[in-house]
């Protein structure tokens, strides 16, 4: 097996910058591209090579990794003129770690095959904390041989690395994760809305239920921040809305009825419409009136 040494990393935002840094720590030669260069400056200062375009970042790399904003961004960087599929060298591995559409992941996989490239979809869970600590869960779809070849790359960024199946399977699994989060977080918010409406002390209720059967990361790691008045994003509400939209749209295509997902997506869109999309997902407490 050919050693993978050179990595082009596209998307150095809240999570991407930390992930690229871990790859550098693991000894990979990393080139970076981001639409806003200042977000890559810390990596550049550490020795990452700055690229002026997506195509330049993909050229002559053993591996190209992306973690960008929305499916339209994924499609543009992979399939646009002068993009990754056009620019990557034959035999390169392409890893999209954005939460994106499984249908698009299949499209990229097919286009890559034509160019003799190895494309996998590998969205992550664990948020900014997991990215900083290199403890992300990585959900991989594509050819299993490619999954195996990429183990050293994945191991630099995450701990729970799971092969989910054929192209698109990683994105489908991430949708399952976000759907589960949606119901859990909404349930937590409803519990505290009930506590407040019924005259209970919300903090006492939290102390009573947070470590029992009702406990979850959404309660202790997300809602807790909101109860403390901290709405800084570990994961932006608008990106959560994007993820839930993917789940909703593909659920329709797959014939699955997901009423809880539809409800939470509506709530998130209402908050976005009121200008709160850049807050963390704990802002859902505001929708329920737990926090003003």
Could you give the residue numbers annotated as active site?
A: 174
Query: What count of Cα atoms within 13 Å lies in the side-chain half-sphere of residue 24?
Result: 19
Check: CB of residue 168 under 8 Å from CB of residue 142: no
Distance of alpha carbon 252 from alpha carbon 262, whole angstroms: 11
Sign of CA dihedral 125, 131, 135, 139: positive
Distance separating alpha carbons of residues 74 and 69, to the nearest angstrom: 8
Burial of 172 (0-12, 13-18, 19+ CB in 10 A): buried
Q: Which two tokens stand for residue 74?
A: 């994924």
- For 254-287, the DSSP string reads HT---HHHHHHHHHHHHHHHTT-TTSBGGGHHHH
Alpha carbon distance 213, 217 (integer Å):
12
- Angle of helix 102-114 relative to helix 237-254, nearest 10 degrees, comes to 80
Q: How far apart are CA 127 and CA 132, in angstroms?
A: 9
- Residue 235 to residue 256: CA distance in whole angstroms: 26
For residue 79, list its beta bridge partners.
Answer: none
Residues 6+ apart with CB under 8 A from 131: 14, 15, 16, 18, 19, 124, 157
For residues 111-145, b (16+ Cβ closer than 10 Å) or e, as one string?
bbeebebbbbbbbbbbbbebbbebebbbbbbbbee
């Amino acid at each position: 097996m050919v050693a993978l040494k050179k990595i082009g990393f596209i998307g150095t935002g809240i999570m991407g910058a930390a992930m690229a840094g871990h790859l550098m720590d693991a000894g990979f030669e990393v080139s970076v591209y981001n639409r806003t260069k200042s977000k890559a400056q810390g990596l550049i200062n550490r020795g990452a090579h700055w690229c002026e375009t997506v195509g330049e970042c993909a050229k002559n790399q053993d591996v190209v990794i992306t973690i960008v904003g929305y499916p339209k961004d994924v499609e543009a960087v992979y399939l646009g003129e002068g993009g990754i599929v056009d620019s990557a060298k034959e035999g390169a591995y392409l890893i999209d770690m954005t939460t994106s559409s499984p249908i698009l992941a299949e499209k990229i996989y097919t286009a890559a095959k034509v160019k003799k490239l190895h494309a996998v979809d590998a969205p992550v869970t664990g948020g900014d904390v997991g990215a900083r600590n290199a403890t992300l869960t990585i959900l991989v779809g594509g050819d299993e041989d490619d999954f195996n070849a990429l183990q050293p790359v994945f191991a630099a960024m995450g701990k729970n690395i799971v092969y989910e199946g054929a192209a698109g399977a990683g994105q489908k699994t991430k949708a399952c994760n976000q759907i589960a989060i949606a119901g859990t977080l909404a349930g937590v918010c409803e519990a505290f809305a009930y506590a407040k409406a019924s005259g209970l002390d919300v903090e006492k209720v939290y102390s009573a239920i947070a470590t029992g059967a009702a406990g979850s990361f959404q309660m202790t790691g997300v809602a807790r921040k909101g109860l403390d008045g901290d709405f800084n994003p570990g994961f932006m509400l608008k990106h959560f809305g994007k993820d839930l939209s993917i789940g909703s749209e593909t659920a329709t295509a797959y014939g699955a009825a997901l009423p809880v997902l539809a409800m939470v997506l509506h709530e998130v869109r209402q908050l976005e419409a009121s200008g709160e999309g850049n807050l963390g997902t704990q802002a859902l407490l505001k929708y329920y009136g737990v926090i003003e």
